[in-house]
Amino acid sequence: QVQLVESGGGLVQAGGSLRLSCAASGGIFGVNWMAWYRQVPGKQRELVADITYNGRADYEDSVKGRFTISRDNAKNIMYLQMNSLKPEDTAVYYCNARGGGYSWGQGTQVTVSS
């Protein structure tokens, strides 16, 4: 069974940085288009960034120029480098295949104070 484990969240002041990590079991990184999502209580989960197996990335408009998604297929790890964080980036962040094809992990909380 595929397991996704997110880590790296925390409390940071506006303008600060965090790097999130996503570790996956089951060797999924070699064949999948992966993504980071985020969810705020009471709202739907939204796509933040995605990356193809070969490293081509795309971003939601509000994070372009601030966030960078990357992956290490050999290690089955994906990252989300988040710079210039804003209070509106506060959410629980999740990783999954593009389209959410696997069971969701517990996520990692990111809180940005103003």
Buried b (16+ CB within 10 A) or exposed e, 92-102: bbbbbbeeeeb
pLDDT digits (tens, 9 = 90+) for 57-98: 999 999 999 999 999 998 999 999 999 999 999 999 999 999
Among residues 58, 83, 75, which one has the least CA distance to residue 48?
58
* Residue 103: per-residue pLDDT: 92
